[in-house]
């Protein structure tokens, strides 16, 4: 396989921008499917949304992979494509897909522009340094404006974005696009836009074309001295040079902007040509593994099929045939029936079957080489595990997994159901790193936590359908945090004498708040001098403090934003031990943390609302009533766009309330924004509620 002609790409965007519709058209034009289905309404549903739940709700829940071939300028390109969910509740699906891809298409709605999830996806693309193209979709909608989309890409995402096309007409009148490099008009004929008709652009667009083309050339000239010189001396720039510089610019982080309407079958083929022409192949990416024997040392991985095999399991799906592991191969070749070692567990495992995925359909293959994305059957591993031919060969940087923000209790209706529920939860937890399962020590309830109401809703529904488990769902619980607000010095002695050798430890230092973006922030500083506490006991002191963070003294929520500094202490030659210093630190934390005026922190969600202008007053009033703070409002074409920060505790059941307030026309999305201090009166209610629950539990 010629790796220069391989593209591993993802399609990511804000919810409802048309990603799955675009994927469906791409598959159709590449000849991978022979009939177009729609995401919503009738038919068999979109190819990439293969779960029953996805078809019913018209949303993407799991990322689906497929591969296709695209003919560009007479050469065949192999494209591995992953369609990712837009909803922030399934953000880990986007995260793990981008972790293993070489390029991406960021889809924007021509009316909505850059929305909240577009910002999240942009952050994820930057985290993994993914080159990308932007596609402004839904150009046939009322209020379509590609120039606003371009402006917002620059302002909100600080992207170096420039138009590569201009629309011929807009809204109902959208007919096609003009390619600015070649100055040619593209029209999409035939029943499904499959016939590409190339003509001279409309004469009345001549000035606009030249003006926009100049802006494109100016943006590109920043990536090429040769082009910059030609621009300054006003020489004609050859089309070949523009193509060459555009490819270089994309690899360096620029964002060329394309446009069309996937639903109306316009603009998709030129986008595929751009994917082939500009996006990176596995040969263009620098990938490094980590040496397990020395984690500071990096091992360069080359996409060479003859080197030792290195692959990463990035997504796991359990189905009736067993575990299916999606794998990206970074180096070497893996064979069907070959045995490779899981770098995390050290276990040797046999790759009994290799398959190429097309949504949920499988095609058997005998081997796969560097740069490929395939699925392996019959191995037992976790998301993020690396495989290689020998032990301690190479590990790969794991992906970022956000912390869950919402909990609900699930109780099976009978003993027989409990086993089935256990199996379902174990499978879901393995598949999804943001889905957590725990048992409440006091009440014995099983608690599941995730990224939002929809996320947990989908898992409860899947338990009912896939495992036939009927469960009762408890009210949602918010994951609060506790944090200190002032500096406190501590001086704590632990002494215990019970015949024979006793226990003794003495520590001095301070507890203080720290500002940090991270949720689980805790810092420990050892400033003990002259061996006042022997070095071997210091880790035990740190562990004692860390173990105390799991339940804070205010209402038994995890403690964050804390720094402990150990400055002095004392020990006893006979009676001191690691255990005594560990216990001393735990006792000290319980006693002194209360003096640091601890407060509760609650998750605040960034909420983006859309509703008809006539309902704006009611919606804004309701948000304010939920302790929300409006950060921005905008009215376009009779639609009101509202951004707000609202405490998670106040958002439960909001979807239903918003629908009834706006006669079913309002929509919203939300994602975690930050943790902020809970108002005093509400903190009191939370603490009392927790105490009452404990009293009930102890009876």
Domain assignments of the chain as residue spans, ordered by start: 3-278, 287-396, 407-472, 481-597, 603-681
> How large is the average pLDDT for residues 285-309?
89
Is residue 541 within 8 Å of residue 547, measured between CB atoms? no
**What does the alpha-carbon distance between residue 124 and residue 134 come to, in Å, rounded to a whole number?**
15
The per-residue pLDDT for range 239-269, each reduced to its tens digit, is: 999 999 999 999 999 999 999 999 999 999 9
Determine the pLDDT at residue 520: 58
Q: Any known ligand binding at 67?
A: no
Distance spanning both ends of the chain, measured CA to CA: 69
Q: Which residue has the higher pLDDT, 57 or 351?
A: 351
Ligand-binding site membership of 138 (annotated) = yes
Residue 456 above 70 pLDDT? yes
Place of tokens 């038994």: 556
Largest CA distance in the chain: 101
Least confident of 9-23, 78-92, 577-591, 673-687: 78-92
Predicted confidence (pLDDT) at residue 67 exceeds the cutoff of 90: no
Assigned CATH class of 603-681:
alpha beta
Cβ contacts of residue 150 below 8 Å, gap of 6+?
136, 161, 162, 163, 257
pLDDT, residue 265, reads 93
Closest CA to 455 of 61, 84, 19, 98: 61
CA quadruple 342, 347, 348, 353: dihedral positive or negative?
Answer: negative
Q: State which of 276-285, 657-666, 687-696 shows the largest mean pLDDT.
A: 276-285
139 is in an annotated binding site: yes
Choose between 664 and 557: higher pLDDT.
557
Q: CA geometry: angle at 292 spanning 286 and 294, to 5°?
A: 90
What value does the mean pLDDT take over residues 681-698?
78
DSSP 40-83: SSSTT--TT--SHHHHHHTS--S-EEEEEEEEETTEEEEEEEEE
Does the pLDDT at position 40 exceed 60?
no
189 is in an annotated binding site: no
Tell me whether residue 86 is annotated as binding. yes
pLDDT in tens, 313-333: 988 887 767 788 999 999 999
Instruction: Classify domain 481-597 at the CATH topology level.
Output: Ribosomal Protein S5; domain 2 (3.30.230)
- Angle (CA) 181-184-189 rounded to 5° is 130
Q: Give 590-601 pLDDT, tens digit per residue.
A: 999 999 999 999
Q: Percent of the chain having pLDDT more than 70?
A: 93
* Residue 118 marked ligand-binding: no
pLDDT at 39: 59
Do 407-472 and 603-681 come out as alike in CATH topology? yes
Given this model, what pLDDT does residue 514 score? Answer: 86
Q: CA 435 to CA 288: how far, in whole Å?
A: 29
pLDDT over 90 at 9, yes or no:
yes
Supply the pLDDT for residue 20.
82
Question: What pLDDT score was predicted for residue 516?
Answer: 60
Return the pLDDT at 699.
Answer: 44
pLDDT at residue 159, as a whole number: 93
Angle between helices 116-127 and 91-100 (to 10 degrees): 30
pLDDT band, very low/low/confident/very high, at 42 (cuts 50, 70, 90): very low
What pLDDT shows up at residue 406?
82
For residue 693, the SS3 value is helix
Which has the closest alpha carbon to 579: 551, 550, 545, 541?
541
Q: In sequence order, what DSSP letters do the residues of 114-164 get, joined into one string?
A: S-HHHHHHHHHHHHTT--EEEEEE-TTSTT--HHHHHHHHHHHH---EEES
The pair of structure tokens assigned to 640 is 């009101």
Contact predicate 640/615, CB 8 Å: yes
- List pLDDT tens digits, range 575-616: 888 999 999 999 999 999 999 999 999 989 888 888 889 999
* pLDDT confidence of residue 41: 45
Q: 65 or 630: which carries more pLDDT confidence? A: 630
CATH classification code of 287-396:
2.40.30.10
Residue 547 labelled as part of a binding site: no
Q: According to the annotation, is 18 in a ligand binding site?
A: yes
Plot region of 627 (φ>0 → left; ψ -120 to 50 → alpha; else → beta): left
Q: Average pLDDT of the chain?
A: 87
Residue 634 annotated as binding?
no
Domain 3-278 has CATH 1.10.3720.10: no
Does 84 carry a binding-site annotation? Answer: yes
pLDDT band, very low/low/confident/very high, at 44 (cuts 50, 70, 90): low
Tell me the average pLDDT across 173-191: 94
Sign of the Cα pseudo-torsion (209, 212, 216, 222, in order): positive
What does the pLDDT read at residue 128?
A: 87
Q: Which pLDDT does position 651 carry in this prediction?
A: 86
pLDDT band per the 50, 70, 90 thresholds, residue 665? confident
Mention every residue, 6+ apart, whose C-beta is less than 8 A from residue 215: 162, 163
Q: Are 350 and 417 in contact (CB under 8 A)?
A: no
Token reading at 570: 């004392």
| Structure-token pair, residue 410 | 């699930």
Torsion sign (Cα): 312, 365, 24, 258: positive
CATH superfamily of 407-472: Elongation Factor G (Translational Gtpase), domain 3 (3.30.70.870)
Q: For residue 90, name the pLDDT band (cuts at 50, 70, 90).
A: confident
Confirm or deny that 14 is annotated as ligand binding: yes
Q: Band the pLDDT of 175: cuts 50, 70, 90.
A: very high
């Amino acid at each position: 396989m010629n790796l220069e002609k391989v593209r591993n790409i993802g399609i990511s965007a804000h919810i409802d921008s048309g990603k799955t519709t675009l994927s469906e058209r791409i598959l159709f034009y590449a000849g991978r499917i022979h009939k177009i289905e729609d995401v919503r309404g009738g038919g068999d549903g979109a190819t990439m949304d293969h779960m029953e739940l996805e078809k019913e709700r018209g949303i993407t829940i799991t990322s689906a992979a497929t591969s296709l071939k695209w003919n560009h300028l007479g050469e065949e390109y192999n494209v591995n494509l992953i369609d990712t969910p837009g909803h922030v509740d399934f953000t880990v699906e986007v995260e793990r897909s981008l972790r293993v891809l070489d390029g991406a298409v960021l889809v924007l709605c021509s009316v909505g522009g850059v929305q909240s999830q577009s910002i999240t996806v942009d952050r994820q693309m930057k985290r993994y340094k993914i080159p990308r193209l932007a596609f402004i979709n839904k150009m046939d909608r009322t209020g379509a404006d590609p120039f606003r989309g371009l402006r917002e890409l620059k302002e909100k995402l600080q992207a170096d974005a420039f138009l590569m096309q201009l629309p011929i007409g807009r809204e109902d009148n959208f007919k096609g696009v003009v390619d600015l490099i070649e100055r040619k008009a593209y029209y999409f004929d035939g029943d499904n836009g499959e016939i590409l008709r190339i003509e001279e652009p409309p004469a009345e667009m001549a000035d606009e074309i030249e003006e926009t083309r100049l802006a494109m050339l100016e943006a590109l000239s920043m990536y090429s001295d040769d082009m910059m010189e030609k621009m300054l001396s006003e020489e004609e720039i050859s089309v070949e040079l523009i193509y060459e510089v555009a490819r270089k610019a994309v690899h360096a982080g620029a964002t060329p902007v394309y446009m069309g309407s996937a639903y109306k079958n316009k603009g998709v083929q030129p986008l595929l040509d751009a994917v082939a022409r500009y996006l990176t192949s596995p040969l263009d990416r620098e990938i490094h593994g980590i040496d397990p024997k020395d984690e500071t040392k990096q091992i360069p991985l080359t996409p060479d099929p003859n080197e030792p095999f290195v692959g990463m399991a990035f997504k796991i799906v359990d189905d009736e045939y067993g575990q299916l592991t999606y794998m990206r191969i970074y180096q070497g070749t893996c064979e069907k029936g070959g045995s490779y070692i899981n770098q995390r567990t050290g276990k040797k495992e046999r790759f009994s079957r290799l398959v190429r995925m097309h949504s949920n359909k499988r095609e058997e293959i005998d081997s796969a080489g560097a740069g490929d994305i395939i699925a392996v059957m019959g191995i037992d591993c976790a998301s993020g595990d690396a495989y290689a031919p020998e032990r301690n060969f190479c590990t790969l940087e794991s992906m970022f997994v956000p912390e869950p923000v919402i909990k609900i209790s699930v109780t099976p209706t009978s003993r027989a159901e409990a086993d089935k529920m256990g199996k379902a939860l174990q499978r879901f937890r393995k598949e999804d790193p943001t889905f957590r399962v725990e048992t409440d020590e006091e009440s014995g309830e099983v608690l599941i936590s995730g990224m939002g109401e929809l996320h947990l809703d989908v898992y409860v529904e899947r338990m009912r359908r896939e495992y036939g488990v009927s469960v009762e769902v408890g009210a949602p619980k918010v994951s609060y945090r506790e944090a200190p607000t002032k500096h406190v010095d501590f001086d704590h002695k632990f002494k215990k004498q019970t015949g024979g050798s006793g226990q003794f430890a003495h520590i001095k230092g301070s507890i203080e708040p720290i500002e940090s973006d991270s949720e689980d922030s805790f810092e420990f500083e050892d400033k003990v001098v002259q061996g006042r506490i022997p070095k071997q006991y210091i880790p035990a002191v740190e562990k004692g403090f860390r173990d105390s963070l799991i339940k804070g003294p205010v209402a038994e929520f995890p403690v964050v934003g804390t720094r402990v500094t150990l400055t002095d202490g004392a020990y006893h030659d006979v009676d001191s031990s690691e255990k005594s210093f560990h216990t001393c630190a735990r006792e000290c934390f319980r006693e002194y943390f209360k003096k640091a005026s601890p407060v509760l922190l609650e998750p605040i969600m960034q909420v983006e609302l859309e509703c008809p202008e006539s309902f704006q007053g009611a919606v804004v009033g309701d948000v304010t009533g939920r302790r929300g703070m409006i950060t921005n409002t905008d009215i376009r074409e009779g639609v009101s766009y509202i951004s707000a920060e609202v405490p998670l505790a106040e958002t439960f059941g909001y979807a239903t309330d918003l629908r009834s307030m706006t006669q079913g026309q309002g929509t919203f999305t939300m994602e975690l924004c930050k943790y902020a201090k809970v108002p005093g009166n509400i903190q009191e209610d939370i603490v009392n509620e927790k105490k009452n629950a404990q009293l009930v539990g102890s009876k």
